[in-house]
Structure 1
């Protein structure tokens, strides 16, 4: 009898120990879906990573571009937390990195929060001041995601914010798979020059969907080699497809000007919108260009611009 009770208590103790090892933090990592941010990316998620690091005392430029300085800082942070210092901001790094902000705070993390809220369609001033307007936007966002609408921005809210507007966080490969499988985005299998190689728009997306880099062409001004496509570019392409169906003629491949952003993996050329070839008289070409700019593209060219009479060129900032 005593042995049986001893065995029962031993099992109970083991179960409690195992349960304790999966406390709130561990459960949170599993429950939350985080975006993956890495070298070469740009946009609001990169800005958020940089803002968190800056607020924690690291010295770096907060500009939304994940370059060598951010890579070095991320690795340093990961090492300080006993994480694998690979420079990739995934779930484990996010969980250690994010800071909670609430009404009354005034800092660069609040600035990042406001940028994220604007990305999700909320209208507010980006000034780093967590006032009544930001509180209202946070509560509205939390309600829309089924979170407790308490206005306090902790890990659950940050995870939802840093994901795409339509759901949880997505990696570069996830975004490329969405584009590859979209019925609203046609991807060219030959260059506008007539050359066919392994750097066509479709192959760029297929290679990215498989977790690799997109190849660049090796003719004309093209430098050859490969480049990782920017997640800002990929997100932009997906969002554009929500308003129009369109055809992509070039991404990282083809021959362009010597310093073209195509070679940096941040530009896309669109030659057909809603079934009609792009021209100055196309009814959607100007609104398409305006949408590119609204999505963060800083180089938008089309009919009326030299060399772009038959396509729209949308390019995001270089990494």
Structure 2
């Protein structure tokens, strides 16, 4: 009975995204590890905060770290003006490999990148961030057109939102 209970618990953990085998996208893991190494060496910035000031485990750095380790990325869980009801959904999501490959491609093109948000923070209620398919990148002067054209060339859709560029797949 104990073995059967353990198997059921492991299956529930994998379904909820909290198990270590929850995410099996090898491309996502490969690019997440590349990005994590760049962040740890100071060549890119993966934010460890949210613009809202809310504190949780869903920062861009943590999203990338967890994906590199084969785990699902945490999503924030709070209400905001963009999504007052029900708010950011919380829970976990597997980040898409194409998304992480895009972030890495922007770094390669520009030589530097500042990732504001991936699956964390509060966005519009139907945001692709909550599906692990969107990123917000800091928008340095004169760089948005490069980020947007790269997003489009890789099959995504993006827009300049002033202080950041949003790209989703």
Shorter-chain TM range is 0.7 to 0.9
Which residues of structure 2 form unaligned runs of 5+? 1-23, 80-86
Partner of residue 222, structure 1: 88
Instruction: Indicate whether 1:174 and 2:30 are aligned.
Output: yes
Contact 1:214 / 1:229 at 8 angstroms: preserved in 2?
yes
- Cα deviation, 1:145-199, whole Å, max 9, x if unaligned, reads xxxxxxxxxxxxxxxxxxxxxxxxx542222110111144310000011112100
Instruction: Indicate whether 1:234 and 2:90 are aligned.
Output: no
Give 1:295 deviation, angstroms. 1.5
Q: 2:136 aligned to 246, 269, 273, which one? A: 269
Higher RCO (CA 8 Å, separation ≥ 6 residues): 2
TM-score, normalising length: structure 1: 0.41
Q: What SS does structure 2 have at the residue aligned with 1:313? A: strand
CA RMSD of aligned residues (A): 1.6
Q: What SS does structure 1 have at the residue aligned with 2:51? A: coil
Contact 1:184 / 1:241 at 8 angstroms: preserved in 2?
no
> Larger Cα Rg: Structure 1 or Structure 2?
1
Q: What SS does structure 1 have at the residue aligned with 2:158? A: strand
Q: What SS does structure 2 have at the residue aligned with 1:234? A: helix
Counterpart-to-counterpart distance in 2, 1:255 and 1:293: 24
Equivalenced residue count is 135
Q: What SS does structure 2 have at the residue aligned with 1:243? A: helix
Q: What SS does structure 1 have at the residue aligned with 2:115? A: strand
Give 1:284 deviation, angstroms. 1.7
Partner of residue 9, structure 2: none
Partner of residue 194, structure 1: 53
Give 1:287 deviation, angstroms. 1.9
Give 1:283 deviation, angstroms. 1.5
Q: What SS does structure 2 have at the residue aligned with 1:181? A: helix
Contact 2:28 / 2:101 at 8 angstroms: preserved in 1?
no
Which residues of structure 1 form unaligned runs of 5+? 1-87, 90-169, 273-277, 303-307
Greater fraction strand = 2
Contact 1:269 / 1:314 at 8 angstroms: preserved in 2?
yes
